[in-house]
């Protein structure tokens, strides 16, 4: 039985059309015309169809939300964070030792310019005056001394807190102390970056706010402090594990937002996060980035190929790149992945802020969610050409093929030079299609294609993609 949707009630009840923005342009205007055309044909079916069209053809809602441009976080952060490698076993020696290694092995030169402390740095109780107190055992020299040293080394310094009564490890959180704590972190201790977690949530009758309100409280405190001091605001990393669709609202408050639950050092975790982000990859742009969580490269039992896939997907999706391994034990393989300068250049592209998106799922029908088998074929823009990422989601090697014009960024009738972003080699010219043989299990291919002129005259078939291929005399030339 088909249930009628009363679109008249929906309209009169406050459904609000957003005026097309720069993101939507003529497409948005055309969408509205289509909607009104179907809505005017008042049959039950067309009322339903009109409503579906309204949802389907307008741009994603987050693209109509203005990103917070306060001069901070235009590009994804590149950093080291203590949590994945050390959890609560941190101290000032651990932090400074890893910072020194970042300089000496070339990570800082590659772009990693933040050193971030996660949970467990404080005493269990606030001071009599109400301030968070740094652990006297773990950080005996004090936080200002630590940030001064990091700044002298050329790094920005990051700190951690929580929207609730406590942090996730039950140290003091910042609920009802947002202004006090942000002043402590920024002015007294000298930190530049705040990761803000989501544990120890107060009872509803106390907080009287949802996820948006919880994170707005600290965003407002950051803005007030910046206004009163004249200094730049802290970078605000919103860590709510993808709850309540942060890609729709978090860009108003901070510069990055977690999209999923915590990562783990396993292929199943990596694949699941890629899968979830395949449906929201459009949400990253300048000043606002989907955060796929800290990197696990160098941890657990990830193979070399799985680690390459991990880094490629994070870098090309314009996620923050946050090292989470103990650098005192990092292998040359680990460092070679973390310092892939060609992938980092795309992640940090100052001209194109958006990341890659899937154009074909491959293993599954398009738009299928599958935590074990995420989308396989991706592409996107860069200032230097079109990027392609291919992921072999199988447990065995496989050949992978695609037509160039499956990507919206490729022009028909052109040929393209092919650069491999892992071997760092130029590999000839592609016409119409590409096949990559023997991609390793859970492995990745990352390519940069540049326009190399017209394809050879007479290249057949007439259309690379057969749908509605037609001669100018009206003869349809679809190929099977």
Residue among 241, 261, 266, 262 at smallest CA distance from 372: 266
State the DSSP string of 9-38: HHHHTT--PPPP-TTTHHHHHHHHHHHHHH
Neighbouring C-alpha atoms within 13 Å toward the C-beta of 172: 18
Residue among 289, 264, 292 at smallest CA distance from 276: 292
- DSSP annotation of 376 reads -
Enzyme catalytic residues: 197, 262
Q: Determine phi and psi for 444, rounding to 5 degrees.
A: -140, 150
Q: Which two tokens stand for residue 135?
A: 């652990």
Q: Which two tokens stand for residue 206?
A: 């106390």
Q: Do strands 193-197 and 289-291 pair parallel, antiparallel, or not at all (unpaired)?
A: unpaired
Q: At a CB cut-off of 8 Å and minimum separation 6, what does 69 contact? A: 286, 287
Signed CA dihedral, 215, 219, 220, 225: sign only: positive
CA distance 247 to 318: 14
Signed CA dihedral, 284, 345, 273, 161: sign only: negative
Residue among 139, 100, 95 at smallest CA distance from 116: 95
CB 441 within 8 A of CB 396: yes
CB 146 within 8 A of CB 157: yes
CA distance 200 to 168: 7
CA distance 181 to 227: 16
State the DSSP string of 445-479: EEEEEEEEEEPPTT-SSS-SS-TT-B-TTS-B---
Signed CA dihedral, 347, 349, 354, 356: sign only: negative
CA distance 257 to 459: 46
């Amino acid at each position: 039985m088909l249930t009628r949707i009363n679109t008249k009630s929906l309209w009169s009840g406050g459904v609000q059309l957003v005026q097309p923005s720069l993101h939507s342009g003529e497409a948005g205007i055309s969408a509205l015309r289509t909607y009104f055309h179907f809505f005017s044909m008042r049959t039950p079916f067309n009322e339903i169809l009109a409503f579906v069209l309204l949802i389907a053809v307008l741009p994603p809602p987050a693209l109509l939300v203005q990103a917070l441009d306060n001069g901070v976080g235009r590009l994804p952060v590149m950093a080291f964070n203590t949590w994945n490698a050390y959890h609560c076993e941190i101290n000032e020696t651990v932090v400074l030792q890893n910072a020194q290694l970042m300089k000496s092995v070339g990570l800082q030169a590659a772009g990693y310019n933040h050193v971030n402390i996660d949970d467990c740095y404080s005493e269990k109780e606030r001071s009599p005056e109400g301030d968070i107190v740094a652990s006297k055992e773990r950080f005996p020299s004090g936080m200002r001394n630590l940030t001064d040293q990091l700044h002298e080394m050329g790094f920005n310094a990051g700190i951690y807190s929580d929207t609730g009564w406590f942090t996730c490890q039950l140290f003091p959180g910042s609920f009802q102390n947002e202004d006090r704590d942000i002043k402590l972190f920024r002015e007294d201790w000298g930190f530049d970056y705040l990761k803000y977690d989501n544990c120890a949530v107060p009872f509803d009758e106390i907080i009287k706010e949802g996820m948006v309100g919880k994170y707005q409280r600290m965003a407002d405190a950051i803005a007030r402090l910046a206004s009163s001091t004249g200094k730049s605001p802290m970078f605000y990393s919103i860590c709510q594990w993808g709850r309540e669709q942060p890609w729709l609202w978090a860009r108003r408050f901070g510069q990055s937002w977690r999209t999923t639950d915590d990562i783990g050092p396993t292929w199943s975790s990596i694949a699941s996060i890629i899968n979830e982000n395949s449906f929201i990859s459009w949400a990253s742009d300048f000043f606002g980035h989907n955060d796929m969580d800290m990197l696990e490269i160098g941890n657990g039992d990830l193979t070399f190929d799985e680690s390459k896939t991990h880094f490629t997907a994070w870098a090309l999706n314009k996620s923050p790149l946050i090292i989470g391994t103990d650098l005192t034990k990092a292998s040359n393989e680990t460092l070679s992945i973390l310092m892939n300068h060609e992938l980092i250049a795309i992640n940090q592209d100052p001209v194109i802020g958006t990341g890659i998106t899937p154009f074909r799922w491959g293993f599954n029908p398009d738009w299928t969610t599958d935590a074990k088998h995420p989308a396989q074929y991706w592409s996107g823009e860069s200032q230097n050409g079109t990027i392609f990422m291919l992921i072999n989601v199988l447990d065995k090697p496989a050949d992978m093929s695609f037509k160039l014009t499956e990507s919206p960024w490729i022009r028909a009738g052109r040929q393209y030079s092919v650069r491999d972003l892992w071997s760092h080699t130029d590999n000839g010219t592609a016409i119409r299609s590409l096949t990559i043989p023997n991609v390793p299990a859970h492995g990745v291919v990352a390519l940069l294609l540049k326009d190399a002129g017209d394809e050879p005259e007479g290249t057949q078939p007439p259309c690379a993609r057969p749908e509605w291929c037609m001669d100018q005399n009206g003869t349809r030339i679809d190929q099977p």
